[in-house]
Structure formats: structure tokens, C-alpha cells
């Protein structure tokens, strides 16, 4: 994902119908207007697959999921570009590789629809072959701080790289690390502790996985950072991370934040009319990411900013009142159109 220059966003206007035989003339400004959005990539709305669902969505070499492939191929035919695919999530931070495991995946059940542990074998990586044309981001497990954790993570990264080859665009290190304190790290864990861990993993993967790769992948600037669950939580902010030196070793290719404000549990207030089919709510939920986006664009123009997860929890929570209904489709149009004016990419 390369950073882009700015381009004026087209507002939604009433349709203009020309009389038969007449001509409509449209003139574009010669310079980019102030406050214009960035160029909108045709793969702007892409997909984030939880690590534990990847075999379901994709299958393997002998039993590929052709239904999923047809959906992504349809998007390509409609937009002219294959969607990006990110494999990650909380389950990726609980994923462990076992080279002798014959099954693609084994899952230990956990709370909130998220496994407590995911064990993968060599067949798991065949799922990465099912969507030809798509470019991939793959999350490396940072949460596992056992003595063998980093080596296991590097082993996974090497298998991913050798499977995807030139279709791999970055490694994302960790998931929603602002929620690590009092969970998988001590309660006093701060963004500055995270920066040190992130840099250690980026250095190790750069040196032991990417270095000398035959696929033309950048050996150093190849990592997605932050991956915070919130725009701001205690010390975990975009500005603190960069002021604290997360890019001192020039590893950061992109930064990702997660947007899930609609998914605060299956509560009475989370309903279509009040929260989804409500432009004021859409603006409020997305505009909180504008300061981080502006900071990156101003100070690190070669770093891509994206929302790597958006509103995934209402699926985990089986919120049927907002899932698979027409009102949700209307919300999605409004959500994506407004999002195009703010950030460079979405993963849904």
C-alpha cells in the first residue's frame, strides 16, 4: 500500500438529467482544493480475516473455497482491482505453529467468539493460495512472550513469505496492543514498553526472514505498526508512538488503527436507526481518527494510514438485528463514502 497524494472528493449531489440531444459539460479545478481527500484506491474497502477463520474463508489446495474466491473476483471485475487481505486479529496473537501437526488448524474455544488458542500446521498456509491477484498483510504474534515465542513467530512469517512471495505487502506485529495491559502484559505496560517489543520483533524478522529474500520484498521498511483498538487510550496514541521512536530503525511502512465503536456489546442502544442508519453517528465514529491521520500525513508522508478493522464485533456477538439486513447495506454505503474522505484504506 503506497501513500497517495490528495484528490478532491466528489460530493453526493442530486442527479442531473440532460434533455435529449443536449450536452452536459463538467469542468474540474486545475489545482487540488484545500481540504480535499486523498486519492481513493480502487481496493479502498478490503478484507480483514481472523486468523482462525482463514481456512474456512479460503480452504486449501485440494479443497479451495470457490464461493469466497468468486466474491473477491466479482469485486475485481466491478472495481478493476483485487481487494487487499489482512490476516490477523486477537486470534492471530494466540496462534502457534506446529510443524508436525497434520491438521490445518485446531482451535481451543474462548470467550466472545474468539479462540483461547489456535494451533496451525503446514497445510494452514495453503489457504493463502486461494485468492490470486490479492495482496496480503499478515499479522505476527506479539502477545506470546514465552521464551520460544519470537522464534515461533519468525517461523510463521517465513512460511507466509515463501507462500505469498511478491504478493505479501507487510507483516503486522501484534494486535490491539493498547489492550495488552492487565491481560497479556503487566498492568503498568505502556506504549513505550510496546515500542521496545515491536522494534525487537521487527529487527528479528527483518534480519532472519526478509534479509536476502528472492521475491523483491523490502528487507527493512516492511512492517505495519500500532494496530491500536482505540484512537487514544492512556499512553497509547499515534503521536506518542512516533515521538517515542517506533520508526527510529525505519521499519514502519504503514500504521493501522481499529474502529469498532458500534460494537460495544449487544446492548439495547446498538440498533440500526440510532447507530448505523445515522449519518451523525457515522461522522462521530470516524472523525475521531482524523487527528492521527493528519499527524501521519504531515510528519510521515511516506507512511500509509489505514483502519485495519472496522465493526467486526457485531458478527462475533451474533447481533442479528444489524447483520444481513437492508439498513446495514445503506449504512455501509454512507460509512465507506465518508471514510474515503478521511483515510487511505479500510479493512472490513
Q: Burial level of 142, CB count in 10 A (0-12/13-18/19+)?
A: buried
Residue 46, phi-psi category: left (phi > 0), alpha (psi -120 to 50), beta (remainder): beta
- Distance CA(262)–CA(135), nearest Å, equals 28
- Distance CA(241)–CA(235), nearest Å, equals 9
Q: Cell 526478509, residue?
A: 210
For residue 318, the model assigns a pLDDT of 64
Which CATH superfamily is 45-347 part of?
Glycosidases (3.20.20.80)
For residue 316, the model assigns a pLDDT of 59
Could you read off the pLDDT tens digit of each residue along the chain, which spans 348 residues?
544 322 223 233 334 445 566 788 888 888 888 877 777 889 988 999 999 999 999 999 999 999 999 999 999 999 999 999 999 999 999 999 999 999 999 999 998 788 999 999 999 999 999 999 999 999 999 999 999 999 999 999 999 999 999 999 999 999 999 999 999 999 999 999 999 999 999 999 999 999 999 999 999 999 999 999 999 999 999 999 999 999 999 999 999 999 875 544 555 556 677 777 888 888 888 899 999 999 999 999 999 999 998 865 565 566 677 777 788 888 888 888 888 888 766 665
For residue 5, the model assigns a pLDDT of 26
- Distance CA(136)–CA(149), nearest Å, equals 23
Domain limits, the chain? 45-347
- Distance CA(95)–CA(160), nearest Å, equals 14
Nearest to 245 by CA among 175, 197, 177, 182: 197
Q: Cell 481451543, residue?
A: 108
Is residue 293 within 8 A of residue 305, CB to CB? The reply is yes
Amino acid at each position: 500500500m503506497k501513500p497517495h497524494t490528495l484528490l478532491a472528493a466528489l460530493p453526493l449531489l442530486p442527479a442531473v438529467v440532460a434533455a435529449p440531444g443536449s450536452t452536459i459539460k463538467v469542468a474540474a479545478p486545475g489545482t487540488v482544493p484545500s481540504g480535499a481527500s486523498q486519492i481513493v484506491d480502487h481496493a479502498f474497502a478490503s478484507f480483514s480475516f481472523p486468523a482462525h477463520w482463514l481456512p474456512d474463508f479460503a480452504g486449501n489446495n485440494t479443497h479451495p473455497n470457490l464461493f469466497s474466491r468468486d466474491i473477491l473476483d466479482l469485486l475485481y471485475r466491478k472495481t478493476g482491482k483485487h481487494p487487499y487481505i489482512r490476516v490477523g486479529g486477537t486470534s492471530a496473537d494466540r496462534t502457534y505453529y506446529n510443524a508436525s501437526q497434520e491438521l490445518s488448524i485446531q482451535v481451543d474455544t474462548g470467550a466472545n467468539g474468539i479462540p483461547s488458542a489456535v494451533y496451525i500446521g503446514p497445510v494452514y498456509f495453503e489457504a493463502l493460495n486461494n485468492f490470486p491477484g490479492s495482496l496480503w498483510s499478515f499479522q505476527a504474534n506479539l502477545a506470546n512472550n514465552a521464551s520460544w515465542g519470537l522464534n515461533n513467530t519468525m517461523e510463521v512469517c517465513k512460511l507466509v513469505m515463501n507462500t505469498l512471495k511478491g504478493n505479501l505487502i507487510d507483516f503486522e506485529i501484534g494486535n490491539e496492543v493498547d489492550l495488552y495491559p492487565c491481560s497479556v502484559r503487566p498492568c503498568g505496560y505502556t506504549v513505550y514498553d510496546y515500542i521496545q517489543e515491536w522494534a525487537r520483533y521487527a529487527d528479528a524478522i527483518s534480519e532472519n526472514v526478509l534479509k536476502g529474500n528472492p521475491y523483491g520484498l523490502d528487507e527493512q521498511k516492511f512492517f505495519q505498526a500500532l494496530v491500536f483498538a482505540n484512537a487514544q487510550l492512556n499512553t497509547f496514541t499515534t503521536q506518542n508512538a512516533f515521538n517515542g521512536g517506533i520508526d527510529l530503525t525505519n521499519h514502519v511502512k504503514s500504521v493501522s488503527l481499529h474502529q469498532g465503536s458500534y460494537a460495544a456489546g449487544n446492548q439495547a442502544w446498538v440498533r440500526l436507526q440510532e447507530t448505523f442508519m445515522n449519518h451523525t453517528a457515522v461522522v462521530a465514529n470516524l472523525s475521531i481518527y482524523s487527528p492521527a491521520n493528519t499527524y501521519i500525513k504531515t510528519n510521515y508522508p511516506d507512511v500509509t494510514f489505514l483502519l485495519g478493522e472496522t465493526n467486526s464485533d457485531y458478527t462475533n456477538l451474533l447481533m442479528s438485528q444489524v447483520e444481513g439486513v437492508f439498513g446495514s447495506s445503506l449504512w455501509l454505503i454512507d460509512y465507506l463514502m465518508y471514510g474515503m474522505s478521511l483515510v487511505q484504506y479500510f479493512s472490513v
